[in-house]
A and B are shown apart, each in its own frame.
Chain A
Amino acid sequence: MQLKRELMVIGGGPAGLAAAVAARRAGVRDILLIEREDCLGGILNQCIHNGFGREIFKESLTGPEYAQIFIEQVQLSDIECWTGTLVTELTAGKRIIAANSRGLHRICAQAVILSMGCRERTRAAVDIPGTRPAGIYTAGVAQNFINLRNLMPGKRFIILGSGDIGLIMARRLTLEGAEVLGVLEKLPYPGGLPRNITQCLEDFNIPLYLKHTVTDIHGKHRVSGVSIAKVGPRGGILPGTTRKLACDTLLLSVGLIPENELSKAAGIKLDRLTGGPLVDETGQTNIPGIYACGNVLHVYDIVDQLTKEAEAVGRAAACYIKAGQSQLPLLRVQAGSGIKYVVPQQISAPGKRLLSFRVDTPGQNKYIVIKSGRKIIKRQIKQRVNPPELIQLEVNLPELSPGNIIKVELK
């Protein structure tokens, strides 16, 4: 038996919740939101620290509090939600197969919003040699055990990677009575937001070792220690700088990967730079009627931004359902020198368009230059640029000449 819906939203984290509510408000009646966990809210449920909602609600909420606002909106809008359900297949024809305790379900929809979020990179992604004992956790998994399951993974921690989750976990572990020997970052600058460096490390006297990495893991059954070393300017280990630190747990906070296995199988084109789908300004992928929002698109650093953009994607999907069609992309948007990535990667219609991008290294007094072909359409000076901080700029594109390339550069 095949079920039919106007709109399917895959993933009930902050992006999926916001997109579903926005689509409902824009007039879509028949929405199905699918979530693999038993409750809605996604990763926010384990983020029990505060700092969420400052932009939208002008107050500092915890992750569960922030999520609850949108969960209630979903419930009030009477949106059908299937929790404990994992989508195992998506096709270009907007058909899915979903599995839950009631069995396998085949559902097709007029439009689909992808909001599957991201997953953590693992030890293999950073190639740490050594033994394979117990006591190696990714930061998010450790956060899950500590905050949701009341299980403490260890006593003495080394954290590799200074992304936001690693920083938040350094503070959480300290608060829970564990010792954090240090946070290691192979780059010369931290990977997380400046406010987290202050609030999570400096306020707790946790050392941050820049230009350091873990080169070996020791211990047969449980981690007994790690070797750390300095990293040279080209990313190699500096000889003679290796030393051994005794610890019982290694926490990895070495990056996030947008979760696009379903997208790939459906034939959705991905951007190598973001790891997410190539989208236009409405969040539409290369398959008309399939949209993407949230961390599945690119990894955000602030949930408020993600919410606002997911809402816009929800509205765009509603328009598509009403019109039965959408515009095709006309222009490409590219990351030029000094820029890590830009989203959206395509523009379909003229007007004011918001570009989100990250620089690839920190800098001061830099010009952001946006060009359309050879013509500079925007130029803005930034006192400080920092890769962990997403930059958003609006450009006005009153008319689009097909084939033209919009390029963002750092000068």
Chain B
Amino acid sequence: MDYDVIIVGGGVVGCAIARELSRYRLNLLLLDKEHDVARGASGRNSGVVHSGVQVPPGSLKAKLNIAGSKQFPKLCRELGVPWRRVGKLIVAQHKSELAKLTQMLGTGKKSGIADLKLLDKPQLKQLEPHINGIAALYSQGEAIFSPYMLNIALAENAKQNGVHIKLNTRVVGIKRLENKFKLATDNGSYTSRYVVNSAGVWADKLAQMAGITGYRIYPCRGEYRVLDKACAKMINSMVYPVPVAGYGGLGIHLTPTIDGNILIGPSAEYVKGREDYRTTGPVLNKLYREALQLLPAIDRRDFIAAYAGIRSKLCRPGSSRFTDFMICEEPKLKGFINLVGIESPGLSAAPAIAKHVGKLIAKGLKLAPNPDFNPRRKVETRLDNLSGELVCRCEQVTRREVLAAINNPLGASSLSAIKYRCRAGMGRCQGGYCLPRIVDMLRETSNEEITFHGPGSHMFIGATKELLKCS
């Protein structure tokens, strides 16, 4: 099939673009090499809608961040993604950091963020009795949400509105034909007038396939720890340290999640592997130590999981230079839109990035409204479901919810795909209770191999007793 636009990469940016373009009568295809969407940085971050206070005013990052974050309430409502304003505190621990807070207040005001204020120690204590600090910058408007839930919801809504989504499909070559592109993949080849490169940490490599050199992504890993829901009451807002120049991230912070956990992290460490999602002993210890500085009440026993994500940085290791998002239609390759270096605040900016890319495409394609476009995703609300057999005890997930996750519209089948959709297995026992039950449900519905996160990650090697017969 000949497509109008092929989007490469099913992260939050790619899926937001797909959904945005599905407002128009276009033939759209989204490709991702993984077995599900949200497998890269989009599913591995703090889940925060930033207001824009941490980026330099006037930059593309600031512009798209501020515009994007304003779209969140409506977007999340349409897609049925829980979202909550909790506010963000940037907490000074020492007098030497006070000047930086004042400076950030100034920057924020310049960027047009109205609801910023400085808190003194008593005000900070009143808001966050468990947090250590002498003063804080409070940004009331900032919100939390589940980043992979938004990513999945965007993809599902895009699909509902006619976007073709092919998972397990890796682009291996890009050829320029007369007025279109031919994308060779390990799962067929596809042609299209426009190509949107939202390949995240692989965006420079994908651009290279199209002959565009000059971009270079430096993968920068961030590790996280997850705290038990029992700790939820320890903080009300997001709590950040005062940023240190050259750190490569926002500093190790505490983020309440929409589901009631607290995240500690992320660290920032340049690594070679673009998908080297390892956690490491020294960093995990560092996360614990630095989190204790902010929140001394943390107990080691309350850690329930750890994970890592990779930032796609344009800024080379050792440099503290600010690098902006690179979003453009390549002047030398009309129809090829590159999005490179979409690191934080890419998630907050995603809705605005999608509109921005829509405008770039409108220059070359006639965008007629899709009369069937429905911005609302069909979702079942949790409360209706709570009566019924509970499959996951920690997160109180019912059989019906797990079944809905198994039969998800994208057809992603793995234990992770189920976990990300209904939270079964994300609680304190990390699947000890629900895993056998979910495996039973999967075996009842299909004969497919049960994997942890797609091809190669098989959970079992066969039947116990058959194995005995063979050996």
Q: Which residues of A contact B (CB under 8 A)?
A: 36, 84, 86, 88, 99-101, 103-104, 119-120, 122-125, 127, 129-135, 138, 140-141, 144-155, 176-177, 215-216, 220-222, 248, 261, 264
Known A-B contacts A148-B436, A153-B459; A176 and B464 likewise in contact (beta carbons under 8 Å): yes
Contacting pair A149 B390 (CB below 8 A): no
How many Å from the CB of B428 to the closest CB on chain A?
A: 8
How many Å from the CB of A94 to the closest CB on chain B?
A: 21
Contacting pair A99 B463 (CB below 8 A): no
B175 CB–A CB distance under 8 Å: no
**Can you name 9 A-B residue pairings with CB atoms under 8 Å?**
A99-B390, A119-B432, A119-B433, A122-B305, A124-B304, A153-B460, A221-B452, A221-B454, A264-B230
B281 CB–A CB distance under 8 Å: yes
- Give the residues in chain B near A129, CB-CB below 8 Å: 278-281, 283-284, 306
- Give the residues in chain A near B301, CB-CB below 8 Å: 125
Contacting pair A99 B387 (CB below 8 A): yes
Q: Which residues of B contact A (CB under 8 A)?
A: 225-226, 230, 275, 277-281, 283-284, 300-301, 303-307, 386-390, 393, 396, 398-399, 428-433, 435-436, 439-440, 451-465, 467-468, 471
Knowing that A125-B303, A134-B452, A145-B439 touch, tell me 5 more A-B residue pairs with CB under 8 angstroms.
A127-B306, A144-B436, A149-B436, A154-B461, A216-B281
Most central of A103, A132, A155 by chain B CB within 10 Å:
A132
How many Å from the CB of B60 to the closest CB on chain A?
A: 34
Known A-B contacts A134-B452, A176-B468; A153 and B281 likewise in contact (beta carbons under 8 Å): no
- Give the residues in chain A near B436, CB-CB below 8 Å: 141, 144-145, 148-149
- Give the residues in chain B near A221, CB-CB below 8 Å: 452-457
How many Å from the CB of B300 to the closest CB on chain A?
A: 8
Contacting pair A222 B456 (CB below 8 A): yes
CB within 8 A of A141: which of B307, B432, B451? B432
- Give the residues in chain B near A153, CB-CB below 8 Å: 459-461
Contacting pair B284 A127 (CB below 8 A): yes
Contacting pair A176 B467 (CB below 8 A): yes
Contacting pair A149 B440 (CB below 8 A): yes
Most central of B278, B398, B431, B462 by chain A CB within 10 Å:
B278
> How far is it, in angstroms, between the C-alpha of A244 and the C-alpha of B467 when the chains are bound?
27
Contacting pair A88 B457 (CB below 8 A): no
Known A-B contacts A100-B389, A124-B304, A134-B451; A152 and B432 likewise in contact (beta carbons under 8 Å): no
Known A-B contacts A86-B393, A104-B386; A134 and B464 likewise in contact (beta carbons under 8 Å): no
Contacting pair B389 A99 (CB below 8 A): yes
- Give the residues in chain A near B439, CB-CB below 8 Å: 145, 149, 151
Contacting pair A104 B279 (CB below 8 A): no
How many Å from the CB of B236 to the closest CB on chain A?
A: 20
Contacting pair B304 A122 (CB below 8 A): yes
The 3 lowest CB-CB distance pairs between A and B, nearest first, are: A221-B456, A134-B452, A221-B457
Contacting pair A103 B452 (CB below 8 A): no
- Give the residues in chain A near B455, CB-CB below 8 Å: 221
CB within 8 A of B464: which of A86, A125, A150? A150
How many Å from the CB of A191 to the closest CB on chain B?
A: 18
How many Å from the CB of A156 to the closest CB on chain B?
A: 10
Contacting pair A122 B393 (CB below 8 A): no
> How far is it, in angstroms, between the C-alpha of A261 and the C-alpha of B393 when the chains are bound?
10
> How far is it, in angstroms, between the C-alpha of A141 and the C-alpha of B415 when the chains are bound?
15
**Closest B residue, CB atoms, query A100:** B389
- Give the residues in chain A near B393, CB-CB below 8 Å: 36, 86
**Closest B residue, CB atoms, query A145:** B436
> How far is it, in angstroms, between the C-alpha of A177 and the C-alpha of B469 when the chains are bound?
9
Most central of A100, A129, A147 by chain B CB within 10 Å:
A129
Contacting pair A133 B452 (CB below 8 A): yes
CB within 8 A of B432: which of A88, A101, A140? A140
How many Å from the CB of B93 to the closest CB on chain A?
A: 26
Contacting pair B305 A124 (CB below 8 A): yes
How many Å from the CB of B221 to the closest CB on chain A?
A: 12
> How far is it, in angstroms, between the C-alpha of A241 and the C-alpha of B32 when the chains are bound?
42
Contacting pair B456 A220 (CB below 8 A): yes
How many Å from the CB of B349 to the closest CB on chain A?
A: 28
